[in-house]
Chains A and B, each alone.
Chain A
Amino acid sequence: MRTDGEGSGKIGNKSKSKTIRILLIEKSRSFTRLIQEMIAEAEATSSANYTHNLVHAERLSTGLKRLAKGGIDLILLDLSLTDSEGLVTLNKVYSRAPEVAIVVLTTLYDEDLAVAVLQEGAYDYLVKSEVDSKLLARSINYVIMRKRMHMQLLQNTRKIQSHEARFRNILDNNTDSIVVVDKDGIVLFVNPAAEALFGRKVEKFIGELFGFPIVAGETTEVEIIHYGERLKIGEMRMAETEWEGKPVYLASIRDITDRKQTEEALAKSKAYTESIIQNFLDTLIVVDTEAKIQTVNPATCYLLGYTEEELIGQPISMIFAEEEEEEEVHRVFQFFREPEKAESLRPQDTIRNCELTYKTKDGRLIPMSFNASVLTDEAGNVTEVVAGAKDITELKLAETEIRKEKRFSENIVATVPESLLVIDKHLRIKSANRTFYETFQVVPEKTIGTRITDILGDGDGRLSTELTRLFGTKDVQEKLELHYQSENLGERIFNVTARGILVEEEEEEEEELIVLEDITKKKEIDRMKSELISNVSHELRTPISIVKEGVSLVLDGVLGPIKEDQKDILSRVKNNIDRLARLINDLLDISKIEAGKMVLKKSLVDISSLAKEILISFKNQAEEKNIKLITHLNVESPDISIDSDRISQVLTNLISNSIKFTTENGQITLGVEDRKDKIEISVEDTGVGISKENIPELFKRFSQFDRTDGPGQKGTGLGLAISKEIVEMHKGKIWVESRPGKGSKFTFSLPRLSQEEIFREYLIAGIKEAEEKGGSLCLVIIHIKNFKELEKKHGSSESLLIVQEIEGVVRRTLRRKSDIVSRYQNGDIIIAILMDTQKKQAPSVKRRIKQALDAEIRQIERLKDVSVFLDEVTYPADAASEEELIDRIKKGHRV
């Protein structure tokens, strides 16, 4: 044994299993030596189990330093040291090296101290005076052993604890919920996943009853009420285990809510698919990898007339009708026909809407629209082919019908003699028929997409204006005349009819249908007719005039005296010349009427005065036969819009007839009656009358009967026919009441037009003339601004007189006979229609009228309150149609 202050030494050379190092902290050197000897002795006598290394430290501080270096197994400690005294010494040492065994040495035995020492961490307590080698050795052995056991226990405990910690870690991070419950079902532990699953925080969990039946070793499904969300489903497994030393049950729960939902959804979807397949109206056939029918739906059996059994297991090719061989046969069809030879199918080998024919059990052929899909498993191997097909018999029929209809209308469109065009709202041509291309000698490439006015011209913008107006309406614009000129065709006139086509769908573009009718010939013929009539009249009248004048010259004695009998003959000749002249006039009238060439020139006429005038003109003739002329004029407002010359013609015809057919001392009564919306004029005589059979023929041409020779001119037989035409052109009626021997009464009615209708007629006639001559029409509009007040103040009859005054002033201001003054509607608007007047001339006319009106208003008492406003509008410059002109008139009114 070797000892020194800080050193260590081996004691003895016994081969012992272990060497323990002892630190002796002892202030007494002598005791230190004693200890050394004891230890040596113990080793020698083998009461010690070990070999010992002894290290000595005199003071605590030194001892602690040495301790700090480590490697000490046991400390022999004297509590009483120079730098530390008592129990505190032990504390200091223990706290420095709690893993090192401590044996306390004291001088005296103290029970309490002994207890305290052991409590404070020492393993043993030796009284110095009682210690011998044996005792020391025994104590050392014992302490070391105990220390080792203690360390082992500590280690095991730590191991367990670390296992538990790892275990805990696994539990905490497990996605499955872990709940540990004790034998009574009280929760001891939950991991975060369980917190989430149950929706409960750990604090609310621990110590509570778990609530689920504890069945170890089984997997059960449990419903979990999750606080905050809907019900969850979990799969729970329970196992018996230990937890912190206690037997527990460990429940592991997996949240299978989603899985369950998926399962349910899948089941539902399967059921759904099943029902679809079962109820599918179209045929559905599933074919296996050998092209044999695996499954069919009821519709297939129904359509083909087979039962399910007859179909399943059969090659699918049996349901197809024989098809013509095609060059490229789809893979799927190849597979159907020859499953072995067919190249392997791929998922992209789908068939869509292929038209083919199925064959039924009884051999009928049904046209089908066929689809096929190739199904594979996850590995990509083909498992089935699903073929769905739809019976398209009806569809095909409908298609054929539609094609027929289309061909029919196409034929119509192609063959009509008129040019047809469809244009869009930019007036560009969308389509045209063959007649158009042939007529205008253009080609589709130059036509489609071109503006219609670029090809046809625009007629001073009238065409484009009218065509544009019609879009979005159902209106029809007819009788738009288009003058077209080209090198190929020369001059042509077309009648344009345009109709807006209303769209049905939102996306459809608005269109217009244009029909062009070549009326060049018709117009030519028309013109020739007019010319013929006027030429014929000229040609006929010229020689008649000469003959008449020649005879007159002789008859009047201008060329010398003539004898009575010469005079007689010549007068007869002259009379017949006149008769001839009348006949020609009548013939020409009738031709004009027939050709539609007779145009009424209407104006406001006092019919009572006119009729009276004409009656009076026959005074002399009546006096010759001593016929009395009577008038019954019963009309308050006799002004009516008529062609006065033509109505005069009618009156002349009727009255001269009456005079002719009334014997001596008879009576002719002229009646004019007001029938509210019309005026009736009658000529009644006491003449020979007309028999009933003759009445129907009366108004026809060349009907002459009961002719007696008498004074008065010989009739032409056309008079009544012409009168009838004239009356009917006025939209009136003419009829006769007669009793043979008593007399006849001829009556004709003339409808009263409303002011507006009258005005419109003037306007239309004016527009027509302007169109024909290519000129323009001006309207000067006189608004009586305060008409309503005037009516209130002066009454309606007085205000009517005012209006008439103003009309008169305007009429007098206008220089030309062709200009018309008319009221529009109520009388608060008076319009002067200036025929054939340019727009630039209108303002000066307007000014003249205004000046005249201002003068009259100042001078005439009746007019002093009147306030007028003048406006002017020109056709076609300001307004392109009758409607637009009227709009303008009405609008100005509101200004």
Chain B
Amino acid sequence: MRHCLTILLVSIFFFIDKSICQTHFTDVTAPSGIKHVFKVYEGMFGGGACVIDFNKDGYEDVYITGGVNDDVLYKNNGNGTFTNVFEQSGMTVTKNFVTQGVTGADVNHDGFVDLFVTTITRRDKKEVIPRAINLFFLNNGNGTFRDATKEYGLDQLFSFSTSASFGDFNADGWPDLYVGNYFNEYKGKLSVINDNTVVEANQIAKGNLFLNENGKKFKDVYSDYGLDFRGFGWGGIFTDFDNDGDQDLFVNHDFGYKRTPDLLLENHYPRQDFTDVAKEKGMDLKINSMSTAVGDYNNDGLMDYYITNIWFNYFMVNQGPGKPFVNKVKELGMQFFSISWGANFADFDNDGDVDLFVANGDLNPNCVPMANYYFENLGGKFEDHARAIGLADYGIGRGSVVFDYDNDGDLDLLEVNQEPVVTDYPVPSVTKLFRNDSTSGHWIKISLNGIDAESHGIGSKIEVEAGGKKMIREIDGGASSIFSQSSVIAHFGLGNATKIDKITVYWTGGNKQIISNVSTNQLLTITEIPGKKSHFFIYLLIGLAAAAVAGFIYLKKRKTV
């Protein structure tokens, strides 16, 4: 009897050990050489990172905003350490600004990723009403960048910007840009500051929808595309929620219960407009909506959205065409209260379904420590294992990014933390790098090389079929975690599958590419096979011809009757 009990206990321990501790994260912040904390200008705003292989050496680097501190550009040395090369990067003009978020794309299609940094005000002089231009840096291709803000027409918009995201809503291969603004913006500098301008300052703002004009200039087409919303904007994500092949836009608004709720802007490409379908799709969330993680948690081919909030987060599960989304946060076991900012879906344990990391942090200067969440996907249910696996950091979390910095096939995590305004914060609150030390599960990483599409495939979708599962990823264009952008290399955990049956790439612009029988545990680069650009016009001509014939027959029939 006693013996049996021992066996039972041992097996339980073994079981627990196996089920909970498969994935383990190690805090490698210090050994990796990362020394960063985001310092707020005032209040809760800011703190993001952008994963970018700026020197194309195959090791992903990371740019992190500093707020009132200097930004950093950490070059990945390929040996587990990083070196801050910011001073030589050509981006030191950011020192004059209070930076917030950062996002990247190959704006001029030269193969190198360019960077867009959002700001709220200047650091080098005190603005009565905090506003400033955002900054755009072109990658020179030699490890440095140059300030192209003016060249791209972005130097006259004085805004209080939060998160920015790249997408290609007109599917022309030139990545476009959406910028979230929290307070109202000014076109040109405010020449007079009086009591009226001061009280008008903290009003809700329009977002900017910047159309990339042939890689040479950005043009704000917000109203041209039928948009006239104002809100306390935290940014938005480009995502194809309705699987119609074009990129829609989901916008996060703070104080949706008082002002403008979240927007789900359906793209009517090739028509040049968006319409807000949030209400009918149940996505007009009236909450303190911060940011959105995108992932297909149940591998049903439909993108689901986890929206961070104050108190309880929302997990809006896609029910397919014609049906509204359903909030399943409670049903799926994720009903915990906190103040959440960044969130990332990723298959951290390589078992063939996406798990979820959530960065939590108080509304600095309020400084109650709160741990992050790590929701392990148990199939139909999630469980928070943050403490068990070493991700329950108590810093004041904001943006978070996932990437495989050590190229070992599992996804590591970087979380930007804010410096507490109070002096008695009980734990260190600094930016953390967590190395994923999981050992099990096969995987594949896919890097896209866009020819017609953006050169890293931003906005494109990849579908992987393996081991009886069909998994899908959208290439991250930014703001998927607040102020931040994760790796553009798609990562899929494959569990026990040793072979991938099929990979399908849905490029923005409509090209579709299929590759079969791919081996696992490798980084695969897929280069786009350019399509015939005239497709659309051919279909249009065929359509017109058919209509003409039909009309002709109809008229003839009518005559004979």
- Do A and B form a real pair? no
Q: Which A residues are closer than 8 A to B by beta carbons? A: none
